Amino acid sequence: MIPGMPGDSQVYLNGEFTRVDEAKISVLDRGFIFGDGIYEVVPVYHGKPFRMTEHMNRLDRSLQALRIPSPKSREQWLELVNELIRRSATPSCVVYLQVTRGVYKREHAFPTTEITPTVFGMTTEFTPPTAEQRERGIRVISIPDERWLHCEIKSVSLLGNVLARQQAAEAGVDEVIQFRDGFMTEGSSSNFWVVSAGKLLAPPKDNLILEGIRYGFMAELAEETGVPFEARRITQDEVASADEILVTSATKEVLPVLQLNGKAVGNGRPGPVYAKLRAAYDARIAAL
């Protein structure tokens, strides 16, 4: 049995669906040996994948960055996602997709002969944030960003993110906000947003952050709701004095950050910009 997962859960591996406890890969898979692969996490509401086109665009960008040939067409990816959803026990879930370069002898350079990428997919349970969680918000601490310089690739090489998330766990908070050279980057598995004088601020889309699917989505919602938006470098002092701080991810959706380094953010309550964006976010989900 695999801790935390029912043994009869269905997963997809290289063209076949099988029980999770029966799925096997080679010990020489480059994803296992080197973390040489990419992944996507797609939230599903009422049986429908959310922002699927944007997820596929990012998957393509990550594959291209690692020079891994895409093993499926757009239509085939959508067929796989829909079949995983169909086999899921609940209409609301998260679809996880992973592609590695494939199986080859252990050598750091890319294989000199053509190999077949390994494709894996599964679903996990997804419970959107409750009304109580939305009101309570999350607590975070700030830490230095010590990861590599290609965070724009959604790579399965996540040790830096794991170590960052562990700092949050050991501090008894929900997440970390990372800073590189005095400027905000992102969390261990989420994007952060700052509200100052009614304006929504985000770090620029560059190699220092993973462009979350909610990055473009939040910009859309800001335009819909009349919230001014700007992408630029944000200093640690600006974060510390922010009127509001928001966090976004596939599973957190959008939530307010109400405590930073043990101190209240703003007045310690969810703010008006969050309320506008949250309502618009919910309307988009309801329209699926």
Give the active site residues. Answer: 154
Please say whether the dihedral angle defined by the alpha carbons of residues 99, 104, 108 and 113, taken in this order, is positive or negative: negative
Inter-residue contact 270 to 258 (CB < 8 Å): yes
| Helical H segments across the chain, by residue range | 30-34, 52-66, 74-87, 131-136, 159-171, 213-225, 236-240, 272-286
> How far apart are alpha carbons 226 and 176 in whole angstroms?
29
Residue 248's beta-bridge partner residues? 191, 254
Inter-residue contact 274 to 246 (CB < 8 Å): yes
> How far apart are alpha carbons 143 and 244 in whole angstroms?
19
- Take residue 125 and report the two structure tokens written for it: 């349970």
Please say whether the dihedral angle defined by the alpha carbons of residues 141, 145, 151 and 156, taken in this order, is positive or negative: negative
Please name the amino acid found at residue 123: T
Apex CA 191: angle with CA 214 and CA 197, to 5°? 90
Torsion of Cα atoms, 136 then 141 then 146 then 148, to 10°: 10
| Residue positions counted in the chain | 288
